[in-house]
Amino acid sequence: MEDTVLITGAGRGIGLELARRYAERETRVIATVRDDAQADRLASLGARVERLDVSDGDSVSECAARLRGVPIDLLVNNAGRQSRAGRLVDLDLADAAATFQVNTFGPLRVLRALLPNLRAGRKRQVAHVTSRMGCFGEYDGANMYAYRASK
């Protein structure tokens, strides 16, 4: 029996590479994107592509409804957003809030919505992709306060 992995933010970067690698391992891949323009690359890997904006509760609910009854063995919360301002004096609170909506609350929304799918899976695993930048004591290479706090 094949495992099923769902990867958020799979349209580019780490998410796309994870989708490619899981597809090579003959794992069923459900790849989510905000932008339909990114769907073709994922579909060519054999992935089921779902539209999802993790910062939007309605989008998360609609995706969960489309996946009703689909067991998920591994949920990879990869979708992320980097805030625009790096320095504290340049921090825009609306931008910081949008960063938190994606990086902090997004994984919680998705996990809560897909919990029935995970419970139906055999492995029931969740992975949250984060960053060393989330460790204030370990990473001094950039300010990026909103991004770092959200991770």
Per-residue pLDDT reduced to its tens digit, 24-43: 998 999 999 999 888 999 99
Q: Tell which residue, 21, 19, 38, has the closest CA to residue 29.
A: 19
Other CB atoms within 10 A of residue 129 CB: 19
Is the pTM for the entire model greater than 0.85? yes
Arithmetic mean of pLDDT, 125-151: 76
Other CB atoms within 10 A of residue 116 CB: 15
